[in-house]
């Protein structure tokens, strides 16, 4: 392998996109109304596209004729290093919107910094991601405001979602050994440094939405080390079923 | 076998390939085909995806291959690039007019109804039938329409 650390880094970013995409795709034909069904599916498609760029790059770094599909369909749960927020079940519409809102706000900052990476390939994938994430963020943040500043019921649901998902936000800014090496090489992003700006974004939107940010500071982490919640295994068993049952099937 | 063709001929072929989702415009009109280069007896064609998740990109690639081979050209290579990222700024006014004629409000800060040209319109959904389009409604003529998003 050309560069083990870079491979791990690119793979974790590919996993974030892939697992998010798969999770969002589970809304298809089940969203609260048609326009939202199409919106969530479109966002899912963007994320699948992003996952494809990143996993193709990771496969190239790994060599040995590895393909992006091998990485997506033939790895076990513990080998996935996506952030835990990405695998969280969709729950109700407010849960999904809050989950996306936290991630979109993070992605916007993350990919902006990554677009200046010394690694040309990562920089160009990031530049493409920023444009799409800007739309995704607009969608999720507008919904947070509409639901938060909406009816008593919608306000309660979106506040509950914030309270439940808050524990997974700490991981966004926790630097791993891989992150540190990549940052020092000016390839990767100093995720810790993104927190101030992210907090500000979340605070501003929540204020407008009349929502409260939880005070509890216990953060659940582990995704980047391959330690997942019980939800990822179920997601993978569905996503990987075909390649597991009929290895190397093509159509 | 290498067939002697001109660059202009290749561009002409590409211009005849419609976008699979918006057949009123070609893949050249949309700026998907970035470059045609002749090097060492090979024709190198570079394309760029519109949206990351655009499922049409692999279809377009197949259409390019089909068109080249139908014309007896087999010394080609098709490359995909992400940089610079695709933007609607590459669309000429002529292409925007084509979109408008097809009932799709072209990208731009101000959205006009493609039927009656009023600015009295409202957005129904940021995401339409494809990632590149948003769904609008005209408050004057009451017609719903697509807007090709500024991107
Ligand atoms: Zn009108």
Q: Are residues B60 and B121 in the same domain?
A: no
> In angstroms, rounded to a whole number, what is the distance separating the alpha carbons of residues A12 and A9?
5
pLDDT value, residue B129: 77
Report ipTM (2 d.p.): 0.83
Contact between B54 and A127 using a beta-carbon 8 Å cutoff: no
Q: Are residues B27 and B64 in the same domain?
A: yes
Shortest distance between the Cα of B72 and any Cα of chain A, in A, equals: 28
Q: Which domain holds residue B118?
A: 92-148
pLDDT tens by residue, A16-75:
999 999 999 999 999 999 889 999 999 999 999 999 999 999 999 999 999 999 999 999
Where along chain A do its domains lie?
Answer: 4-245
- Residue B1 domain flag: no
B92 Rama class: left (phi>0) / alpha (psi -120 to 50) / beta: beta
pLDDT value, residue B39: 92
Q: How confident is the model at residue B55 (pLDDT cuts 50, 70, 90)?
A: confident
Are the CB atoms for B148 and B109 separated by under 8 Å? no
Q: How confident is the model at residue B1 (pLDDT cuts 50, 70, 90)?
A: very low
Return the higher-pLDDT residue of B22 and A228.
A228
**Does residue A166 surpass a pLDDT of 60?**
yes
> In angstroms, rounded to a whole number, what is the distance separating the alpha carbons of residues A107 and A139?
14
Contact between B51 and A49 using a beta-carbon 8 Å cutoff: yes
Q: What percent of chain B has pLDDT over 90?
A: 75
Structure tokens, A143: 């919904």
Whether A44 has its CB under 8 Å from any CB of chain B: the answer is yes
Average pLDDT score over residue span B122-131 = 84
**Per mean pLDDT, which range of A3-17, A26-40, A79-93, B117-131 is the poorest?**
B117-131
Collect all residues with Cβ–Cβ distance below 8 Å to A25 and sequence separation of at least 6: A41, A44, A48
- Predicted TM-score (pTM) of this structure: 0.92
Mutate to test the interface with A, among B34, B46, B51 (most CBs of A within 10 A): B51
Collect all residues with Cβ–Cβ distance below 8 Å to A229 and sequence separation of at least 6: A84, A87, A88, A220
Domain count, chain B: 2
pLDDT value, residue A1: 66
pLDDT value, residue B131: 78
Whether A46 has its CB under 8 Å from any CB of chain B: the answer is yes
- Residue B98 domain flag: yes
Q: How confident is the model at residue B3 (pLDDT cuts 50, 70, 90)?
A: low
Q: How confident is the model at residue A251 (pLDDT cuts 50, 70, 90)?
A: confident
Whether A123 has its CB under 8 Å from any CB of chain B: the answer is yes
pLDDT value, residue A215: 87
> In angstroms, rounded to a whole number, what is the distance separating the alpha carbons of residues A200 and A117?
24
- Residue B2 domain flag: no
Whether A35 has its CB under 8 Å from any CB of chain B: the answer is yes
DSSP, res B126: S
From A230, A91, A233, A87, select the one nearest A168 (Cα to Cα): A87
Q: Are residues B108 and B60 in the same domain?
A: no
Q: Are residues B45 and B112 in the same domain?
A: no
**Does residue A236 surpass a pLDDT of 80?**
yes
pLDDT value, residue A217: 78
Q: Are residues B63 and B132 in the same domain?
A: no
According to the CATH classification, is domain A4-245 in 3.50.50.60? no
């Amino acid at each position: 392998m050309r560069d083990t650390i870079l491979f791990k880094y690119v793979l974790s970013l590919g996993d974030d996109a892939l697992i998010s995409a798969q999770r969002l795709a589970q809304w298809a034909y089940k969203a609260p109304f048609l326009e939202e069904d199409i919106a969530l599916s479109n966002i899912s498609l963007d994320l699948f596209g992003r996952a494809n760029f990143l996993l193709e790059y990771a496969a190239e770094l790994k060599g040995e004729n590895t393909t992006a599909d091998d990485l997506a369909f033939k790895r076990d749960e513990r080998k996935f290093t996506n952030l835990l927020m990405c695998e969280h079940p969709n729950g109700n519409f407010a849960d999904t919107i809050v989950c996306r809102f936290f991630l979109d706000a993070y992605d916007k900052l993350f990919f902006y910094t990554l677009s200046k990476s010394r690694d040309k390939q990562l920089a160009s994938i990031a530049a493409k991601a920023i444009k799409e994430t800007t739309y995704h963020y607009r969608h999720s943040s507008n919904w947070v405001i509409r639901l938060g500043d909406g009816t008593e019921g919608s306000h309660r649901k979106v506040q509950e979602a914030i309270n439940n998902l808050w524990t997974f936000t700490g991981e966004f800014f926790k630097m791993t050994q891989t992150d540190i090496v990549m940052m020092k090489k000016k390839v990767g992003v100093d995720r810790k440094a993104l927190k101030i700006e992210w907090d500000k974004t979340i605070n501003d939107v929540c204020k407008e939405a009349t929502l409260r940010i939880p005070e509890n500071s216990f953060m659940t982490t582990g995704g980047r080390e391959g330690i997942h919640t019980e939800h990822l295994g179920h997601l993978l068993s569905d996503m990987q079923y075909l390649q597991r049952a009929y290895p190397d099937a093509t159509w | 076998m290498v067939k002697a063709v001109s660059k202009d001929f290749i561009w002409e072929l590409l211009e005849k390939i419609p976008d699979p989702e918006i057949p009123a415009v070609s893949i050249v009109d949309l700026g998907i085909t970035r470059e045609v280069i002749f090097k060492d007896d090979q024709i190198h064609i570079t394309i760029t995806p519109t949206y990351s998740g655009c499922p049409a990109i692999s279809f377009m690639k197949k259409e390019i291959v089909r068109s080249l081979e139908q014309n007896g050209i087999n010394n080609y290579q098709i490359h995909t690039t992400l940089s610079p990222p695709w933007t609607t700024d590459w669309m000429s006014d002529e292409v925007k007019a084509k979109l408008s004629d097809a009932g799709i409000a072209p990208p731009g800060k101000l959205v006009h109804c493609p039927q009656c040209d009023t600015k009295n319109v409202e957005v129904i959904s940021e995401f339409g039938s494809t990632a590149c389009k948003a769904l609008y409604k005209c408050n004057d003529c009451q017609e719903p329409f697509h807007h090709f998003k500024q991107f």
